Amino acid sequence: MQEGGEPQGIEVASKRPLFGASADELRAWIAEQGHKPYRAKQIQQWAFHRRAKTFADMTDVPLDLRKKLDAEWTLFATELAYRGIADDGTDKLLLRCRDGRNIECVSMSDPPRRTVCISTQVGCGMGCVFCASGLKGVERNLTSAEIFDQVLQAQSLLPPGESITHVVVMGMGESLANLDNLLVALDRFCSPEDGLGMSQRRVTISTVGLPAKIRKLAGMDRQYHLAVSLHAPTEALRDELVPVNEKVGLAAVMAAADEYFQITGRQVTYEYVLLGGVNDRREHATALGKLLKGRKAHVNLIPYNTVAGLPFQRPEPDDVRRFVETVRRFGVAVTVRRTKGREIDAACGQLRRRLEAPSEPVAIGSRP
């Protein structure tokens, strides 16, 4: 199923996204309007749990306050420009920012889990040669409101009774390159008072491996899970597949990941996209096993999801099985990620902020 339509225009640029303000700022603004600060909690309940589309929907909020909210604020920081729903329940949203740039996020259903994969940048500057997100480079970091809004948008589209249970920061962009804005958004989202109250342990931050930023995150007293996008077990091969490695170095990435585990006690996941005939041979599996042997680590193998215009191929199932068996011989835990949303280009590595031609035009921002 696909939904979309011609843009109807982002709301007046002078309006401030509601969740671009801190909870304290919102309460202070409400008090300035002559209302009790507890009204902020009512508004948050409407946004998160009662799926309000507009401030007018918030019927137990005083009418004059709703009018003032509508005059000065927007409920969403982005606008829904396209929605694609796969047969497996994966829901891809293309969101239009207030400056007209596009980003994508993906909501995945695996009952009782409901996970949303969010982006942190418009595009990506890391240059991984097999990934669609960086084909046009990076344009800018997302604001904390734009990061937060992806969860809000995904939550608002869920069926009654369902809620977002997990967040993975694995969409467009290098997460740690926008760490400050990301943490503002995630901390607000995990707040029991001013967000959904999700446990930090249900949030995973993925990075291609920026050692200084990994150490910074480790020292910030959070319990977010760290996933390192490894993709190659040797310096030479990683230089080819992940160009930023030439400046960073695999050894430095591994040392920073080790430090993250030592400080936080959180096991590090190593993501490894299997490219047919490129990094999926027995010698690669052996090198990966040796690299991770003795570390408290988990490998998440991701069979490549093809991207139009790129030369890489998905590995053969037998090659995947042999790779898993070889790595496990070194005592390393391995799982193979189940592909979801590939038919709508919503699988890992396929997000590219492209507005598809919809087969069933609907009004932008419409909610089923």
- The residues near 29 (Cβ < 8 Å, ≥ 6 apart) are 21
Which amino acid is present at 323? F
One-letter amino acid for residue 110 of the chain: D
Q: First CA to last CA across the chain, in angstroms?
A: 12
CA 268 centroid distance within chain: 17
Residue 221: CB atoms within 10 A of its CB come to: 7
Among this protein's residues, is 104 annotated catalytic?
A: yes
Active-site residue, 117 included: no
Distance CA 90, CA 111 (A): 12
- 326 near 332, Cβ under 8 Å? no
Strand-pairing partners, residue 138, are 123
How many Cβ atoms sit within 10 Å of the Cβ of residue 365?
Answer: 19
Residues 6+ apart with CB under 8 A from 368: 157
Of 97, 105, 190, 348, the active-site residue reads 348
- Say how far apart CA 352 and CA 310 lie, in whole Å: 13
Q: Which residue has the tokens 């969409």?
A: 171
Please give the Cα distance from 255 to 107 (Å, whole number).
33
Select which of 104, 146, 174, 271 is catalytic.
Answer: 104
Burial class (CB in 10 A: 0-12, 13-18, 19+), 76: buried
Q: CA-CA distance, 45 to 368, in Å (whole number)? A: 20
For the chain, counts of helices (H) and of strands (E): 11, 15
Please check whether residue 274 is in contact with residue 301, taking contact to mean a CB–CB distance below 8 angstroms: yes
- The residues annotated as belonging to the active site are 104, 348
